[in-house]
Amino acid sequence: MSKYHPTAKQKIRVLVAKPGLDGHDRGAKVVARALRDAGMEVIYTGLRQTPEMIAEAALQEDVDVIGLSVLSGAHTVLLPRIVELLRQNDMSDVLVIAGGIIPDEDVPLLKEAGVHGTFGPGTLTEDIVKFIQEHVRE
């Protein structure tokens, strides 16, 4: 039995955050609810988070996963910065995934920078759940 089996005491903890300055978080909320319904504990932090705020919250909450919702074009700067801060905090084993509007040509760059999974518009929430369950640190 996986240690993250629904009846196990351990839960997958996910920080859902929205870096950048653009102003709506509908998508992030949908994902948050789907993850909750899959038995995860979702720490929801809301809009306009700086990379520093996200890394700090991830540390205090001791999360296993960070889910980032990006709509602005700044993801190529923000996401690598978050990964770098995690590394500085000795949290490189945290799974980082991103969703929202990410042009295909940016995906290799983000992967290279340490973002483990990217999910474009129209992704099924089941796929995100499955990705997390398969890739979260054991």
CB of 107 to another protein, least distance (A): 28
d(CA 83, CA 68): 11
Q: Which is nearer to another protein, 46 or 103 (CB)?
A: 46
The count of chain residues that interact with another protein, using the rule CB under 8 A, is 33
Non-local (6+) Cβ contacts of 47 within 8 A are 18, 23, 24, 25
The residue within the footprint of another protein, chosen from 53, 101, 107, 113 (CB under 8 A), is 53
State which of residues 57, 74, 101, 113 lies at the interface with another protein (CB under 8 A).
Answer: 57
- Contact between 133 and another protein by CB under 8 A: the answer reads no
Check residue 132 for interaction with another protein (CB under 8 A).
Answer: no
| 3-state secondary structure labels for all residues of the chain | CCCCCCCCCCCCEEEEECECCCCCCHHHHHHHHHHHHCCCEEEECCCCECHHHHHHHHHHHCCCEEEEEECCCCHHHHHHHHHHHHHHCCCCCCEEEEEECCCHHHHHHHHHHCCCEEECCCCCHHHHHHHHHHHCCC
In this complex, which beta carbon is closest to another protein, that of residue 37 or of residue 126? 37
With binding defined as CB under 8 A, does residue 26 bind another protein? no
Site string for another protein, 69-108 (x = CB under 8 A): --------------------xxx-----------------
- Which residues of the chain form contacts with another protein (CB under 8 A)? 6-7, 9-11, 13, 32-33, 35-46, 49-50, 52-53, 56-57, 59-62, 89-91
